[in-house]
Structure 1
Amino acid sequence: MRTTSVGVFKVATRGPGDVSGLMSMIGSGAIDPASILAILGKTEGNGGVNDFTREYAVAALCTALAPQLGLSPQEVEQRIAFVMSGGTEGVLSPHITVFTRQDILQRPAGLSGKRLSIGMAHTRDFLPEELGRSAQITETAKAVKAAMADAGIADPADVHFVQIKCPLLTSERVEAANARGHKTATTSAYSSMAYSRGASALGVAVALGEIATGVRDEDVLRRYDLFSNVASTSSGIELMYNVVIVLGNSMSSTSEFEIGHAVMSDAIDAAAVLAALESVGLRAGQQTPTGSKLVNIFAKAEASPDGSVRGFRHTMLEDTDISSTRHARAAVGGLIAGLAGTGAVYVSGGAEHQGPAGGGPVAVIAKFSN
């Protein structure tokens, strides 16, 4: 069985194009650029269709890493999985999380338990009319299983977070489908983000056995009783396929890190955040009670589609000035930041089929102390 060592590094950024922190860590030898497998980031954009901070951040990272790897920026983007989530409302702080992976000869004697492992895969390119529909669900499920194998994870129970970057529709893509005699799930670019996120999340649920196969096109964004407890999906304009990153624990890993998760039932579910922290030996506001140290928290957030939270009406869906996803990121981000003791946490908006309606998964990565 393949044995790997996985590293996780959180780096603060001063803006979407700031790569100084990462380059400093590479320069000091803390990070081997050849070992970088994935980079997840929070940028200070609006998180919408026209959020070009995501593309800017990826371009800056690829340009900086290209000479380090002896590749072109385009080749860097093909080699490393980049997932940029726009929107740092409230106390959320812009940052990137760098995941590295290196093969080692064997697991050291005396190392006990499963450790953090990471795997990556991607789907084929989708046609515009396939987004938000069963084709995207089926292909995503295949990619999740491939990423699990890449991570050395056999048991779905050991998967604690699945991050996916998925496409969205543009007017040009809609017109291309129409020209071939096909209709897309929606003609709205903004709505297509939700369709793509939702179908991708359902693909995770199918792959992990959280729901049965045979999900229909009409179930997407309608059957909210169908969801994954570990999926986190983000839509972007820059691709037409799904990038899948599986994070879990495996005996094949010798990492200094571990990951755990819980599921928030709604946007104010502090108990779930506490449970996620406790799953890796942490407590609220106290990062080292059992010798572990918080690295980062990853969570999904959305305005409850029924317009209420625990019986009280919310207005997030009725605000024409501010998108509901921005409200949700700010609310959930503030809750998690208060419990974690830091605003540098990864909270992504739009949680369709990612946890129960109005809620979402929350995963915590901690580092064992020496």
Structure 2
Amino acid sequence: MMAREAIVLRVPAAAPDDVSGIESAFKAGLDSRNVVAILGKTEGNGCVNDFTRAFAVSALHRLMERHLPAGGADAISYVMSGGTEGALSPHLLLLARQDGASSDGAGPALAIGSAQTADLRPEDIGRVAQVAQVAEGVRAAMGDASIGDAAEVHFVQIKCPLLTAGRVMDAEARGATAVTRDTLKSMGLSRGASALGVAVALGEVELDAITDEMIGRDPTLWSGRASTSAGVELMNHEIVVLGMSPAWTGPLAIDHAVMADAIDVDPVRAALRRLGFTFDGQLRGDEQGALLALLAKAEAGGSGRLRGRRHTMLDDSDISSTRHARAFVGGVLAGLVGHSEIFVSGGAEHQGPDGGGPVAIIADRSRLAGAER
């Protein structure tokens, strides 16, 4: 039986519209028809008016249009996360798949699936209707990845919509009511509803246990594998599922961890070791090169304290707490892995415990002497 094999390429970005790294990969022989998704960290503010995300998507879409038949570029998921505060480095993650060797006896390997939902009505953003739609989309992406067991899903990256003043007015013109008129608050509610959709699809939370009033308010409901990012550039959901599947082959593998708070690196260390990293301290040399991608969520703890010490992320009226959290968690993880091309997404509503968040690691096991084969 023919298996599929995953390809993960991480390239730096000199600007939101810099697609030269991916263009170079195509020139070097990567088949553009195999691209499933492109994730990216862009250098905007990560808030409602962060148009670096749409700028990056536009540039990527034009690139793919040049390399694919008509309509092919529309099938790719473009998930841009704004905000590279601190020393986080803007970069792109290209996720592709190709035919691999026979899967017989090859064992599980990284599997990539994607799905796009229909457009969501503005009045459904941040409500249970969004949770249900995302759950259905996650299940579709799991099917696309040939992952039958939810336990084998290690990370679900979602780009979800947010409310603008115009979208609120559209709902009200039809006699509906948006969940909020605060466009910045809508980002968190959309991220939270999308994360709970992942939790429902993966069996972490029951749909019937969720009400509209709980979304964004009940921190006891969360997914350990969801990462959601809201943007003004879409009204649907672009969903990318990453996991392990025996239907896939090749050296790539993924594992995940859940940070209990913003400096909880021990679970991340444990995940690295499960993948075969044998480092003592910061990753260096070949082991650093074997780390293809590190994705994480960041959130300012609602108590205003971190292990008993006061933090001011929630009290800063000049800079959103999500921006502080991205920079802080990015620095913590960069100190662990030895570089700053890390996909840290701010705003972890229902994504891990309050103040913490999920982390995913993609590694090339062929470059790790201690890895299981």
Deviation at 1:103, TM superposition (A): 3.5
Alignment of 1:334-349 (within 5 A): 334-349=331-346
Q: TM-score, normalised by structure 1?
A: 0.95
Partner of residue 262, structure 1 = 257
**Root mean square deviation of aligned Cα:** 1.7
Q: What code does the residue aligned with 2:231 have?
A: G
Structure 1 distance, partners of 2:51, 2:130, is 24
1:139 equivalent among 133, 152, 167: 133
SS for the counterpart of 1:234 is strand
Partner of residue 149, structure 2 = 155
Structure 2 distance, partners of 1:362, 1:12, is 21
SS for the counterpart of 1:316 is coil
Q: What code does the residue aligned with 1:352 have?
A: E
1:189 equivalent among 178, 183, 188: 183
Alignment of 1:222-233 (within 5 A): 222-233=217-228
Say if 2:244 is the partner of 1:249.
yes
Partner of residue 57, structure 1 = 56
Going from structure 1 to structure 2, the CA distance change for 1:291 and 1:56 (only over 3 Å counts) comes to closer
Partner of residue 116, structure 1 = 110
Deviation at 1:181, TM superposition (A): 1.3
Q: What code does the residue aligned with 1:147 have?
A: A
Structure 1 distance, partners of 2:176, 2:243, is 39
Deviation at 1:213, TM superposition (A): 2.1
Larger mean CA deviation between 351-360 and 307-316 belongs to 307-316
Larger mean CA deviation between 318-327 and 332-341 belongs to 318-327
Structure 2 distance, partners of 1:213, 1:288, is 45
Partner of residue 213, structure 1 = 207
Deviation at 1:3, TM superposition (A): 2.5
Contact 2:44/2:83 (8 A) holds in 1: yes
Superposed CA deviations along residues 105-143 of structure 1, whole A, max 9, x for unmatched, are 732x553x3100011112221111100001000111111
Contact 1:7/1:255 (8 A) holds in 2: no
Report the count of equivalent residues.
364
Alignment of 1:213-362 (within 5 A): 213-214=207-208, 215-282=210-277, 283=279, 284-286=281-283, 293-362=290-359
Say if 2:96 is the partner of 1:100.
yes
Deviation at 1:15, TM superposition (A): 0.8
Structure 1 distance, partners of 2:147, 2:69, is 31
Superposed CA deviations along residues 26-61 of structure 1, whole A, max 9, x for unmatched, are 1011x2111110000011111011111111111111
Going from structure 1 to structure 2, the CA distance change for 1:3 and 1:170 (only over 3 Å counts) comes to same
Contact 1:115/1:256 (8 A) holds in 2: yes
Contact 1:287/1:294 (8 A) holds in 2: no
Deviation at 1:281, TM superposition (A): 1.5
Structure 2 distance, partners of 1:59, 1:88, is 19
Structure 1 distance, partners of 2:244, 2:17, is 32
Deviation at 1:70, TM superposition (A): 3.2
Going from structure 1 to structure 2, the CA distance change for 1:2 and 1:243 (only over 3 Å counts) comes to farther
Contact 1:281/1:289 (8 A) holds in 2: no
Going from structure 1 to structure 2, the CA distance change for 1:257 and 1:199 (only over 3 Å counts) comes to same
Alignment of 1:2-151 (within 5 A): 3-29=3-29, 31-71=30-70, 75-104=71-100, 106-107=102-103, 111=106, 113-151=107-145
Structure 1 distance, partners of 2:151, 2:42, is 31
Q: TM-score, normalised by structure 2?
A: 0.94
2:195 equivalent among 193, 197, 201: 201
SS for the counterpart of 1:154 is coil
Going from structure 1 to structure 2, the CA distance change for 1:138 and 1:242 (only over 3 Å counts) comes to same
Going from structure 1 to structure 2, the CA distance change for 1:289 and 1:70 (only over 3 Å counts) comes to closer
Deviation at 1:2, TM superposition (A): 6.8
SS for the counterpart of 1:160 is strand
Larger mean CA deviation between 58-67 and 316-325 belongs to 58-67
Contact 2:126/2:190 (8 A) holds in 1: yes
Q: Mind listing any 5+ residue stretches in structure 1 that lack a counterpart?
A: none
